[in-house]
C-alpha cells in the first residue's frame, strides 16, 4: 500500500511538473494528494504499533530517526551533486522550479510522531488523545478559514493510530458505517472529514490482506520511501532534458524506471542497513530480519 501511495504521488506529479493539470479524484484533491493521505494513515497505524509494543521514549525516537534520516541525508546532497554534474543549478525553465517539492510533507510526518510521543507519555490512551487533539485543531482551523496542513494530515495519522489501538474499527460492519458516514460528509461538502472516515480504514484493511502476486513484493525491498524522495528530482531532470511538450507517457516511461532504480539502491544500501541498527527490547535481536521491517 505504501508503494501504491508513492506511485500515485509520482504519476500525479508527472502531470504537474510537465505543466499539465493534475487529475482529481474528488473535489480539489489530486491522486497525488490521495497518496499522501494513504502514507499518513499507514504511518499512524504502524508507528502506533511500534509505540504500543515498546513505549520507551529514547528507543522510539531512535527508530523514527533511523527510518527517515539516513536516506534523506544521502538523497539531498546526491540530488544536488547529480544536477550540478549536468551543468545545472536548478530548474528555472521548468513549469515548477523546486528541486524536490515532495519533501514539504516530511516535517508534518515528524510533527505527528512527536504528537504521538507526547500523547503516549502523558496518557495511557495515546490514540484517543491524539485523535481528539487533531480533530479539535482541524475544526479550529476550519472555523477560522485557515489551511493548516498539520491539522489536516494529523487527522489521517490519528485515524490510523485509532485503528491500531481499536481493531474493532476494521470489522466489516464498522467499515460499512465509516464509509457511509464518509460518503455523507463528502456529499455535504465536508471533504476532509469524509476522506478521514474513508481512506484510513480502507487502506489498513486492504494492506492487511494477503493478495496473490502483491504479497511477495517485499522480496525486492520496501522501495516506497525511496520512490517518494527521488521521484520529483528525477522528473524535473526528465522535463528539463526532454522538454515539457514531450508526451506524458514518454516522460513517465523514462522517469519511473530511473526512480525505481534509485529507490532500490536507497533501500538495499542505506535504509535496510540503518534499520538493522534500530534498538529493541533486551529480548529482541536487533540484527534479525524482523528489525528490518518493523515500523
Instruction: Give the pLDDT confidence score for residue 112 in this predicted structure.
Output: 96
Instruction: Give the pLDDT confidence score for residue 282 in this predicted structure.
Output: 63
Is residue 293 over pLDDT 70?
Answer: no
44 vs 90 pLDDT, higher one: 44
Is residue 288 over pLDDT 90?
Answer: no
CA distances from 103 to 6, 61, 71 (A): 13, 20, 12
Q: In sequence order, what are the residues at sequence separation of 6 or more whose Cβ sits closer than 8 angstroms to the Cβ of residue 286?
A: 276, 277, 278, 279, 280
Q: Look up residue 293 and give its three cell numbers.
A: 521491517
Sign of the CA dihedral 16, 20, 25, 31? negative
Instruction: Give the pLDDT confidence score for residue 141 in this predicted structure.
Output: 82
Q: Look up residue 94 and give its three cell numbers.
A: 521548468
Instruction: Give the pLDDT confidence score for residue 9 in this predicted structure.
Output: 96
End-to-end CA distance of the chain: 14
In the 8-state DSSP scheme, what is residue 23? P
pLDDT digit string, tens, across residues 94-122:
999 999 999 999 999 999 999 999 999 99
Query: Up-side HSE of residue 119: CA atoms within 13 Å toward CB?
Result: 24
pLDDT digit string, tens, across residues 253-273:
999 999 999 999 999 999 999
Is residue 280 over pLDDT 90?
Answer: no
Is residue 181 over pLDDT 90?
Answer: yes
* Residues 243, 162: Cα–Cα separation, whole Å: 45
Closest by CA to 127, choosing from 179, 187, 167, is 167
pLDDT digit string, tens, across residues 219-256:
788 999 999 999 999 999 999 999 999 999 999 999 99
Reported pTM: 0.91
CA distances from 242 to 245, 247, 249 (A): 8, 10, 12
pLDDT digit string, tens, across residues 61-86:
999 999 999 999 999 999 999 999 98
Q: Which residues pair with 26 in a beta bridge?
A: 29
SS3 assignment, position 165: helix
Confirm if 132 and 141 have CB atoms less than 8 A apart. Answer: no
SS3 assignment, position 86: coil
Is residue 154 over pLDDT 60?
Answer: yes
Is residue 290 over pLDDT 50?
Answer: no
Amino acid at each position: 500500500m505504501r508503494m501504491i501511495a508513492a506511485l500515485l504521488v509520482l504519476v500525479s506529479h508527472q502531470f504537474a511538473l510537465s505543466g499539465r493539470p493534475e487529475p482529481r479524484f474528488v473535489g480539489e484533491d489530486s491522486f497525488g494528494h490521495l497518496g499522501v493521505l494513504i502514507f499518513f494513515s499507514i504511518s499512524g497505524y504502524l508507528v502506533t504499533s511500534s509505540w504500543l509494543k515498546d513505549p520507551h521514549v529514547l528507543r522510539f525516537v531512535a527508530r523514527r530517526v533511523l527510518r527517515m534520516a539516513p536516506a534523506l541525508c544521502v538523497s539531498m546532497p546526491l540530488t544536488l551533486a547529480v544536477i550540478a554534474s549536468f551543468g545545472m543549478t536548478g530548474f528555472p525553465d521548468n513549469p515548477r522550479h523546486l528541486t524536490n517539492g515532495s519533501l514539504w510533507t516530511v516535517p508534518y510526518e515528524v510533527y505527528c510522531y512527536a504528537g504521538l510521543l507526547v500523547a503516549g507519555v502523558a496518557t495511557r490512551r495515546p490514540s484517543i488523545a491524539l485523535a481528539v487533539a487533531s480533530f479539535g485543531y482541524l475544526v479550529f482551523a476550519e472555523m477560522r478559514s485557515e489551511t493548516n496542513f498539520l491539522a489536516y494530515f494529523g487527522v489521517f495519522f490519528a485515524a490510523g493510530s485509532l485503528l491500531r489501538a481499536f481493531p474493532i474499527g476494521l470489522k466489516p460492519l464498522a467499515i460499512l458505517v465509516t464509509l457511509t458516514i464518509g460518503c455523507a460528509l463528502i456529499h455535504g461538502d465536508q471533504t476532509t472529514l469524509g476522506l478521514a472516515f474513508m481512506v484510513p480504514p480502507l487502506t489498513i484493511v486492504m494492506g492487511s490482506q494477503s493478495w496473490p502476486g502483491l504479497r511477495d513484493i517485499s522480496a525486492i525491498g520496501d522501495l516506497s520511501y525511496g520512490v517518494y524522495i527521488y521521484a520529483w528530482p528525477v522528473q524535473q531532470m526528465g522535463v528539463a532534458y526532454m522538454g515539457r511538450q514531450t508526451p506524458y507517457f514518454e516522460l513517465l516511461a523514462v522517469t519511473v524506471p530511473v526512480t525505481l532504480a534509485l529507490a532500490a539502491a536507497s533501500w538495499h544500501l542505506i535504509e535496510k542497513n540503518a534499520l538493522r541498527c534500530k534498538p529493541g527490547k533486551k529480548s529482541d535481536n536487533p540484527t534479525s530480519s524482523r528489525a528490518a521491517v518493523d515500523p
